[in-house]
Amino acid sequence: MIDTHSHLNFNAFKKDCAQVIGRSFSNGIKAIINVGSDLETSKRAIELADEFENLYAAIGLHPVDTGREVFDFEIYKKMAGNKKAVAIGETGLDYFHVSDPKLIVLQKEVFLSHIKLARELDLPLILHCRGNKQEPYKPYYKMLEILKKEKEIKGVIHCFSADLEIAKNFLELGFYIGFTGVITFAKGFDEIIKELPSDKILTETDCPYLAPALYRGERCESWHVKFVIEKIAQIKNLSFVETEEQTEKNAINLFKLKI
């Protein structure tokens, strides 16, 4: 089992981070990618990756934080050059938390800087995308428009929450689709997962957020990715082991993990 998107570098794990990491590996997790959302959490992701075996880091400035922090390309580039840094992100577009037109323009500019960084370092992108209630898919289409122009970029659309048509558009660009514990209780994911090729699916938790059904309302941990794998296996009529092995292979291929 591999958790390709966690935030063990966040304050929710400040008091017991080492114990949570140990518990996850004791429960069958083979690798975890800690994802940065700003300079501080990106640094913390690197520190944890250097400290623990099979713990990796992603370096980036979350679109929600682009109005709070300046994206210093050279500082992030230096961090992303660490041998345990395996991705750039999370980055992308968020119209749910951000509605100011100026900040939306800034999000795009910072997103393009992340793409440039990913290209220079030959690392995959971890994409965040969230629309508002009125236009839930608008940022997805905008993101696809940008990626189609940029080309030659690989990565994953994390915590996917759009429709099958949009998922297929990302697949055409060579991107993977990431699913969290949300699929264990929310409607609308079964059809999408059933239609997606198994070699393009990644499993993640987004912990401490988005706990699976059995733990809703509680702090999510990396080992909860087990329930994401179980649900995907059920939907695709595969065994747990088959799904586990395939999603592990997918993560290893995209992020070049050495486990």
pLDDT in tens, 153-191: 999 999 999 999 999 999 999 999 999 999 999 989 999
Residues in the chain: 259
**112-145: per-residue pLDDT in tens?**
999 999 999 999 999 999 999 999 999 999 999 9
Give the other-Cβ count within 10 Å of 82's Cβ.
Answer: 16
Please give the pLDDT value at position 151.
80
Please give the pLDDT value at position 239.
98
CATH 3.20.20.140 fits 2-255, yes or no: yes
Helix residue ranges, H only, the chain: 17-26, 39-51, 73-80, 101-121, 138-150, 164-172, 189-195, 225-236, 240-255
pLDDT band at 152 (very low <50, low <70, confident <90, very high): confident
The phi, psi pair for 201, rounded to 5°, reads: -110, 135
| Residue 238 confidence (pLDDT) above 90 | yes
Average of per-residue pLDDT values in the chain: 97
**180-237: per-residue pLDDT in tens?**
999 999 989 999 999 999 999 999 999 999 999 999 999 999 999 999 999 999 999 9
